Every structure is written in C-alpha cells, then in structure tokens.
Amino acid sequence: MTDGSFGFETITELASAFAGREASPLAYTARLLERIAALDPALTAFVGLTRERALAEAAAAEAAIRRGAAPGPLAGVPYAAKDIFDVAGEATMAGSRLLAGNIATDDCVVVRRLGEAGMVLVGKTHTAQFASTIVGINHDLGTPHNPWRREPHVPGGSSSGSAVAVAAGLVPMALASDTGGSVRAPASLCGIVGLKTTVGRVSRAGVVPLAFSYDSIGSLTRSVEDAALVYQAINGPDPRDETTQHVERHRVLGELERGVAGLRLVFGEGVAFADTDPAVEAAVRASGEVFRALGARVEGLAIPEFEAVQDMADRFVVINVEAYAANRGFLEHQAEALDPVVFWMADGKTHAASDYVAALGKQRDLRRRLAGTLRDVDAVLVPTTPIPARPVDLVDADHRAFAGRYVRNTFLGNFLGLCAVSLPCGFTAEGLPIGLMIYAKPFREEMALRVARAYEQATDWHRRHPDLAWAA
C-alpha cells in the first residue's frame, strides 16, 4: 500500500494484505484515523469518531490473525455507519441536535453482524435530518462536501456523509439506508458503488425509521465485489424485523463472477431518460456497448409501470404518511427547531386513512404488473440521477425542484419493490461523476450485483478518485 493509494484501497485489497500479514489492521486503522482528522474538517463527512472502539476492534482482529485464526473477508477492515444506526454508547442523532442525548444502549443488528465478521467501526457519518432529503443538505448539523469539487456541491442524500467518507478515501465502506434513493443518489453523485437491497433482506432493527414500507439497508463501497461481501455478512432473518422472518440467508458470492453472456438487459425507456443531462444519458447509453461486448442481449423496453408511478398524483402518499407517523412528535411540538428540508413530512397529516390504503393498493397492483413486464428481463438499465451534482447554494435555493429531479428514477425502485446497484459509468466535462443504475427484480440482489460486477471489470471508472489537495 503506497502513500499515493492510501485510503483508497478496496475491502478485498485490505483483507488480502491483512490475512497475508503484509499490513497491520491496527496500524492501518490508526493511520486512517489520522487521515480523517486531517481531511474531515473540510469534508464534514463524520458527525463523530469511535476512536477507542476502532483501535480495540482492530487490535482484536490483528491478534486473531496472529493466532492463526482464519480471517474472514472483512476482518480488520474499517467502516463507518450513517448516524441513524444505533451504536452502543454513542448518540443516534439522525441529523438533528434535538437527539444529541439519544444514547444507544446496544448496537443495531447490522453493526453487530459486521462486528462479528471482524470489521472495525471508526465513526458515524452525517445524514440529512431524519434521513429526509435526497440532495443531502443539512442546515442543522452541516452538509458534507462532495469531494469532487472545491466549490460546495451536493453530495446526495440522505446518506451524505457515508458517501463522502467512501469517495474521499476516509473509509472503504459505510453503512447507509435507502427509502427513496438515499443509497443510490449519493453513490451516483460521489462516484462510488451503492447497493439498495429489497425490503426484507436486511434487518432494520436499531435503525431510525423514515417510512417502514420502503426503508432498506445498504452499503456504499468502492467496488461491486466489496458491496457483495458486505451484503453477504449483513443479510438474513432477524426476529426484531418482521419483514425478514421468512426470508432465507442470501449468499451471492458464488454468482458474482458469472458474467452477463446470454442475459437480457434492457434500457428502461420513457420517463427514466426524460429531461436527462446529455452527458449523463450518453454515459449510461454507452454501457450498452460494454454489455453487448460481454455477450449480453441489450435492447430498449418501455416499462408501463415506470410511467404509471410517475403519473400517479398520490405516489408519495405512503412515504408521506409513514414519515409523518415516525416523526409526529417533532413535527407537532418542536417544528421551529427542525431543518426546513423535513417539512414535506407534514403532508402526511393531510391524508385520510382511505388515501393511504388506496395508495398501497395501487402499489401492489403495479408490482404485480411489473412482474409480468419483466418476466423475461434480467436487469433494467437507467441513469441513477438525471443530473450530476450541482452547487449547494443553487440546489438550496430551489430545494423542492432539485429533490424531485434527483429522486425521480430512484424512487421508482422503492415504490415497485426492486433492488438495485448504482455504480460509476463516466464523468461530465466538468469532472463530476455519473451513475448507472442496474435494477433487478425483488430479492434478486445476486443478479444486480452480477451485472454490475461484469460492467465494473470491463471498465475503470470505479478506480478514479478525487484530488483532495484543496481539503488538506
């Protein structure tokens, strides 16, 4: 590991170096904490560090390796957690000063599973308040700085700090959540890999809720292989989250390298490409040639269910009602202390129970219809976000309009129950990352990862990282 690449290693590279005793988990973690201390004042990715815990976990991983224990593929590798994940002894603030005293007594299920796999938690990352906005702005605790630009650009949200931490080489992986695109949008805007899982795959116990019907747990990493390794460690049934109880543990590594020869991949034509930045569309369309060269059958396909969701006047009723229910106390009694970005949640109070039930019924119907449309399709290709990152001041001045554009393609997957991977597929002329989103059918994470891995191996977009001289 050279100084030039330090901080930008993948999980697989680190695990190999640790297992072969070419590097020390403890020394690496200590040096990474120094890197965070040097760069994070400019980046604002972290809300707080867990230094003592990190050094203790790294020392334990190193001792196990020295004893000759067979290290797992995650042993000794540092990571961070979005500040909606409970970490024992730490505040879970969910982007709000109002929760500064909300000290967790236990690790959430996902953090516990990563600890059991030998990973090293170095800290908690900023989020938009209550995980509420896809642009990633937080007027209360601070907006993380997209590392690809000296001038502040939006990092995407709500997993803003997690994305910035990974993109800037502060950690190789960060936990994130996705309710309307909160894994995939920041992955796209920060030029990294984001995995959105199907609701029911990964336990949400111990994670601050936004909308129960759509909340899913995912990861932000520098490679698809890393995403698969983390997913395999955290998925599986948990009695504390009823959506997972009848879903078996999912093992995906055996499928990861199967390639795309013979698969049917389609561009989701229509709304997903409407009003898209020309550079973004060109980069996403160019992925088709890569897949064709790898033996896939690639074509365009109109997906009526995508259009139907976009045309629904009540498509946000479910998320509005559930977000209002989750945050009712704050919205009704401490509204003056809230970040303005959360006030869309108040719309949930205006909907009758019949509106909510009707919206759920439409959702079930569209999910059934989509299963027929995609019966012979292995994956759908669309831009993750129609536009790249824009300056924070510009977005903040017209937050609702920009949020609508950034969320358009990602929310389709939440509403329709799909899983997805976003990964880098190019850059604009200004050097801003562009994301390709690969949608797969519900509970088919192995397919989304397999297709993404084939593209990643055939390109080098994921190997690029920002010049952080301005942040030093």
Instruction: Please state, in angstroms and rounded to a whole number, the distance separating the CA atoms of residues 141 and 38.
Output: 20
Instruction: Please state, in angstroms and rounded to a whole number, the distance separating the CA atoms of residues 236 and 200.
Output: 8
Instruction: Please state, in angstroms and rounded to a whole number, the distance separating the CA atoms of residues 115 and 126.
Output: 21
In a domain, 210, yes or no: yes
Q: How many residues does the chain have?
A: 472
Calculate Rg over the CA atoms of the chain: 21
Check whether the bond before 158 is cis (ω within 30° of 0): yes
Instruction: Please state, in angstroms and rounded to a whole number, the distance separating the CA atoms of residues 326 and 208.
Output: 9
In a domain, 3, yes or no: no
In a domain, 351, yes or no: yes
Instruction: Please state, in angstroms and rounded to a whole number, the distance separating the CA atoms of residues 66 and 175.
Output: 28
Confidence (pLDDT) at 115: 97
Tell me if residue 468 falls in helix, strand or coil.
Answer: coil
Cβ neighbours, 10 Å, residue 311? 9
In a domain, 4, yes or no: no
Give phi and psi for 193, each to the nearest 5: -100, 135
Confidence (pLDDT) at 3: 58
CATH of the domain at 20: 3.90.1300.10
Number of H helices, E strands in the chain: 15, 11
Instruction: Please state, in angstroms and rounded to a whole number, the distance separating the CA atoms of residues 40 and 95.
Output: 17
Tell me if residue 46 falls in helix, strand or coil.
Answer: strand
DSSP state of 461: G
Confidence (pLDDT) at 345: 95
* Residues annotated as catalytic (active site), given as ranges: 82, 158, 182
Tens digits of pLDDT across the chain (472 residues)? 555 689 999 999 999 999 999 999 999 999 999 999 999 999 999 999 999 999 999 999 999 999 987 789 999 999 999 999 999 999 999 999 999 999 999 999 999 999 999 999 999 999 999 999 999 999 999 999 999 999 999 999 999 999 999 999 999 999 999 999 999 999 999 999 999 999 999 999 999 999 999 999 999 999 999 999 999 999 999 999 999 999 999 999 999 999 999 999 999 999 999 999 999 999 999 999 999 999 999 999 999 999 999 999 999 999 999 999 999 999 999 999 999 999 899 999 999 999 999 999 999 999 999 999 999 999 999 999 999 999 999 999 999 999 999 999 999 999 999 999 999 999 999 999 999 999 999 999 999 999 999 999 999 999 999 999 999 8
Instruction: Please state, in angstroms and rounded to a whole number, the distance separating the CA atoms of residues 272 and 129.
Output: 27
Nearest to 71 by CA among 150, 140, 16, 136: 16
In a domain, 81, yes or no: yes
Residue 392's domain comprises 11-471
∠364-369-370 over CA atoms, to 5°? 95
CB 359 within 8 A of CB 318: yes
In a domain, 21, yes or no: yes
Domain count, the chain: 1
Cβ neighbours, 10 Å, residue 455? 25
CB 39 within 8 A of CB 79: no
> Please, how many CA atoms are within 13 Å of residue 298, restricted to the half-sphere of its CB?
20
In a domain, 92, yes or no: yes
Residues in Cβ contact with 81 at an 8 Å cutoff, skipping those fewer than 6 apart: 87, 110, 111, 121, 123, 124, 125, 162, 174, 175
Burial class (CB in 10 A: 0-12, 13-18, 19+), 79: buried
Copy the structure tokens of residue 381: 């290709």
Find the helix packing angle between 353-373 and 317-326, rounded to 10°.
Answer: 130
CB 225 within 8 A of CB 423: no
In a domain, 239, yes or no: yes
For residue 373, CA distances in Å to 325, 368, 369, 376, 409 come to 34, 9, 7, 8, 18
